[in-house]
Structure 1
C-alpha cells in the first residue's frame, strides 16, 4: 500500500508499507521496507548506479579529493561496481577530459562482476600470497589509491560483526601498504565499536594524515564510517 500525504513545503511523502508475508522474518520485512523508502536507493536507480554505496564514495571524494585525473585506483571487494562507476569519470579513465591525464582503475572481488567501461575487473582473493604482485602487474606499477567498501557477512551479533569488519579492514590496509606508491591514499569502511584504535594507530605510522567521515548518504542508524589515510610514507 502506498500512502501519499502533502507536507507543509509542498513535497509529497511516499511511505511504502510492506506486509509481513507468511514465513518472512521481521528483519527481512524491515530491510525491504527500508530499501523501498530509501531516497538514495531511488536516486541510484534513476542515475544508473549499481547501488546506493556510490554516493558514499562520491561524498567522501568530494571532501578529500583523491580520485583525480590520472590516478591509478584499486577497488577491493568492488561488487556490484558502484564505486567503480564513480571513479571512472573522476580519474578520467576513458580519456574524455581532453588535456587531463588518463587514470587506471582496477576492481577485484571474490565473485564475478559485470564489466564496466574504463575498468579492469578481476575475480581475485586479495588475501592470496601473490595478489599484490598480480595487482601491480595489471596496473603497470603501484597504485595511488586503494579503496574498500568490504564488509564481513553479518553474524547478527553486533560486537562480533564489528571485530570481523575491523579485521578485514586491517587486512586491506596491509594489502595497501604493499601496492601503494609514496603519497598514496587508503580509504575504507569501518564500524564504530571499540576496536578502531589499533587500526588508527597503524595507519598513523604509515600515513601523514588520517581522518574519519560519516557521509550524508550513510544511514543514520548505521555505525559505519570511513577512514581516509593520505600521504603514504612508503
Structure 2
C-alpha cells in the first residue's frame, strides 16, 4: 500500500465525492446532528480552519444570512461562499482578534499541534492549544453560545474538560465515529455559555 493512499478510507472518498477538502467534515456533521449547535443565520468562528471543510459545512448550515469566520496559519485555497471570511495568521494574536470582532454564536476549534510522536509532548501541545481556544471563546462568544474543541486524550484532558464544564451550562465529551480508531482525539463540547461574573 503506498503512503499516499494508506489513510484513504470510506470517509476520505466520500469527502472527495462531496467536494470537501478533508474527511474531518464528517466529525463536525456528527457533532451537529447530535447537538444542533449551529443554526440558520448564526455567526460562527472556526479556529484552525485549514483546509476548509468545517468552514464549508458551517456555511451550509448557517445559510447566506449567517456569517462564518475562519483563521489558520496556513492559507486556505478552497473556494468559499460570500458569507465566509478567512484570515491567514495566528488565531491567538491580538491583531487578528481585533479584526474578527465578537458576538459569535459558536466557536469551534479543530486545531491540532504539529505532532512529534512523543505522547506527553503531543498531549501537552494539544492542551495548550485548547486552553487558547477556550480563552478566545470566552472573549468572543455571546452568552448562551456554544464551543466545540478537539483535544488529545492524556495529561491535561480532565483539567480542560473541567474548565469547559465551569464555563457552560452543559458540557459533553464526544468521539465521532469518523475519527480514526487509532486516534487519541476527542471533542469537548460546551453548550450555553454562562455570563461572566464581573
1:133 aligns with 2:98: yes
Question: Which position in structure 1 is the counterpart of 2:58?
Answer: 87
Report the structure number with the largest CA radius of gyration: 1
Q: Is 1:41 matched with 2:16?
A: no
| 2:167 counterpart of 1:206 | yes
Kept in 2: contact 1:71–1:103 (CA 8 A):
yes
Shift of 1:132: 2.6
Alpha-carbon distance in 2 for matches of 1:144, 1:135: 13
CA distance in 2, matches of 1:221, 1:126: 28
- The two structures have a TM-score, normalised by structure 2, of 0.93
Which ranges of structure 2 fall in alignment gaps of 5 or more residues? Answer: none
Structure 1 regions of 5+ residues with no counterpart? 1-16, 19-28, 95-101
Deviation track 1:153-204 (CA, whole Å, cap 9, x = no partner) reads 0111012101111110111100110100000111011111132111122112
Task: Tell me if 1:124 matches 2:96.
Answer: no
Larger RCO (alpha carbons 8 Å, 6+ apart): 2
SS in 1 for 2:94: coil
Q: How many residues align?
A: 193
Give 1:66's match in structure 2, choosing from 4, 21, 37: 37
Please report how far the alpha carbon of residue 103 of structure 1 lies from its aligned counterpart in structure 2 after TM superposition: 1.0
Q: Normalized against structure 1, the TM-score is what?
A: 0.79
Given candidates 50, 55, 59, the residue that maps to 2:21 is 50
- Deviation, 1:76, is 0.5
Moved over 6 A (4+): none
Offset at residue 129 of structure 1 (A): 2.5
Stretch deviating more after TM superposition (188-197 or 167-176): 188-197
State the distance in 1 between where 2:22 and 2:107 align: 20
Does the Cα contact within 8 Å between 1:187 and 1:229 map onto a contact in 2?
Answer: yes
Paired position in structure 2 for 1:226: 187
